Amino acid sequence: MATRVKRAFKYRFYPTDAQAAELSRTFGCVRKVYNMALAARTEAWARGERVNYNQTSAMLTAWKKTEELAYLNEVSSVPLQQALRHLQAAFANFFAKRAKYPRFKVKKKSRASAEYTSSAFRFRDGSLTLAKMADPLNIVWSRPLPEGASPSTVTVSRDCAGRWFVSLLCEDASVKPLAATDTALGIDVGLDHLLTLSTGEKIANPRHERRDRERLAKAQRELSRKARGDGANRRKARQKVAEIHARITDRRRDVLHKLTTRLVRENQTLVIEDLTVRAMVKNRSLARAISDAAWSQFRSMLEYKAHWYGREVVAVDRFFPSSKLCSHCGTLQPEMPLSVRTWTCDSCGTAHDRDVNAAKNLLAAGLAVSVCGAGVRPQRRTPGGQSAVKQKTPRREP
C-alpha cells in the first residue's frame, strides 16, 4: 500500500530580466507585508493581546487601499497571503515553545522567497508559469518529477549567493513503506563528528567542511573590516561570505540526505536527543552554529523519511544525563567535563568512548519510552512494527 506523501522537488532556474524584476518586486512586497504584520502583532503582544491570521489579512486589504502601499497591488496577491500564513505558523510555533519569537526579514542579506498556491501558477506539459508572467520559467530539470505529478504549491527563492530556485510540492505515490525490521539505533550529535551511533560507528563531518569553515571565518573577518561607506568592496566581501556559506550548506544537505535515507532504511526505531531551540542559542561559535543547523536539518529529514517508510523516531528529553551514565551498569558518574573523550567506569570497569556511550544511553532511554509509552514528550509516531524492538549490536562488550 502506498502512502500519500507530499514531497518537495527543488530545481535551479534562470529567470529572464523581466522575470527577475517581477520576482524581486514580489520578494520586496512579501517582506514588507510580513514585517508590517509582525510589527502589528508585536504591538498587540506588548499590550497583552493576540492578533490572528484573519485580522492580519484584513490589515493587508486596508494597506493595499492606502496611497503609499498601493504598490502592493502590482504583484500577485497569493504570495502576500502566504507570507501572513507563514507568520501565523511562526507564532503558533512560538506559543508552543518550539521556536523563538519571529524575527523581521532583513532586506537583501538573507534568502528571499515567495510562495504560490495553485491559483497563482499554471503547470502544463512540464512547464511552469507564475502569475503576472507571460513566459514559463527556464527550469533545469535535474531530476524528474514523479509520474503524473502536479504541484500544489510552488516556492520561488533566491539565496544569498544570488542563485534562483523553484521548489514544487507534489504528491508522490511512488513512496512505499519498507518491510518492518527489528533494529533500533541511538544517535548522538557532536562537534568532533557529525553523528555518533550506538553501534559505535562515527560519522564524520562533510570532507571539506573544516576548510570551508576556516575560509568562511576569514571572509567574515574581511567583511567586518570593510568600512560602512565602502559600497563596492563591501558588496564583494558580502558576496564572498554568501558563496562560501552556500557551498557549506549544499554539501551538508547532500551528506544528510544520503545519511538519513540509509539510517531510516536500516532501522525501525531511531532515537535522537531532543535539543530545543533554547538550548542552542548559548555559545554560538561558528562551528556550533553550523552544527546546530545541521542537527535540525538532520532531524527534520529523519522524521519525514521515517514517516514515508513506516519507521519511528523517538526524541529523548535533553536533560537526560546521557554522557554521565555508564551504559553497561547504569552507574552515574559525578563529573564529566567536555574535554573527557574516553573514560572507564569506576563500578564495572567498562572503557567507554564518550559519544558512543551517550548514543547507547539514548537508545536505551528511547526504547523504554517506545515500548512502555512512558514519560518523554510524544513525537510523530508511525504505524506498524513497534513491538519487538531489539538492538542491532549486543550491549555487552567483550
The residues annotated with a catalytic role in the active site are 188, 273, 355
Q: How far apart are CA 253 and CA 263, in angstroms?
A: 15
Residue (316 or 326) nearer to Zn ion, CB: 326
Q: How far apart are CA 174 and CA 153, in angstroms?
A: 19
Residue (296 or 331) nearer to Zn ion, CB: 331
**Which grid coordinates are listed for 370?**
517506545
Tell me how far, at minimum, the Cβ of 319 lies from Zn ion, in Å.
Answer: 21
Would you count residue 152 as binding Zn ion (CB under 5 A)? no
Residue (199 or 327) nearer to Zn ion, CB: 327
**Per CB under 5 A, which region of 124-132, 163-171, 262-270, 347-355 contacts Zn ion?**
347-355
Residue (167 or 393) nearer to Zn ion, CB: 393
The residues pairing with 154 across neighbouring beta strands, listed in sequence order, are 116, 168
Relative to beta strand 112-117, strand 127-130 is unpaired
List 192, 236, 347, 351, residue binding Zn ion (CB under 5 A): 347
The residues pairing with 312 across neighbouring beta strands, listed in sequence order, are 269
- How many residues at the interface with Zn ion, by CB under 5 A? 8
The secondary structure element, H or E, covering residue 342 is: strand 342-344
Q: How would you label 87-121 residue by residue, b for 16+ Cβ within 10 Å and e otherwise? A: bbebbeeeeeeebeebeebeeeeeebbbbbbeebb
Tell me how far, at minimum, the Cβ of 185 lies from Zn ion, in Å.
Answer: 22
Would you count residue 328 as binding Zn ion (CB under 5 A)? yes
Would you count residue 362 as binding Zn ion (CB under 5 A)? no
Would you count residue 31 as binding Zn ion (CB under 5 A)? no
Residue (168 or 345) nearer to Zn ion, CB: 345
Would you count residue 329 as binding Zn ion (CB under 5 A)? yes
Tell me how far, at minimum, the Cβ of 348 lies from Zn ion, in Å.
Answer: 3
Residue (313 or 364) nearer to Zn ion, CB: 364
- Interface residues for Zn ion in 260-289 (CB under 5 A)? none
Tell me how far, at minimum, the Cβ of 395 lies from Zn ion, in Å.
Answer: 12
Q: How far apart are CA 398 and CA 389, in angstroms?
A: 23
Q: Grid coordinates 530580466 are at which residue?
A: 17
Tell me how far, at minimum, the Cβ of 331 lies from Zn ion, in Å.
Answer: 5
DSSP for 87-155 reads HHHHHHHHHTTSSPPP-PPPTTTS-EEEEEEGGGEEEETTEEEETT-SS---B--SSPPPTT---SEEE
Is there a contact between 110 and 31 (Cβ–Cβ < 8 Å)? Answer: no
Cβ-based burial of 59 (10 A; exposed 0-12, middle 13-18, buried ≥19): middle
List 58, 348, 351, 371, residue binding Zn ion (CB under 5 A): 348
Relative to beta strand 112-117, strand 5-12 is unpaired
**Which grid coordinates are listed for 357?**
556511550
Would you count residue 345 as binding Zn ion (CB under 5 A)? yes
**Per CB under 5 A, which region of 138-146, 199-207, 246-254, 329-337 contacts Zn ion?**
329-337
Tell me how far, at minimum, the Cβ of 371 lies from Zn ion, in Å.
Answer: 23
Per-residue x/- mask for Zn ion, residues 287 to 326, rule CB under 5 A?
---------------------------------------x
Contacts with Zn ion by CB under 5 A lie at 326, 328-329, 331, 345, 347-348, 350
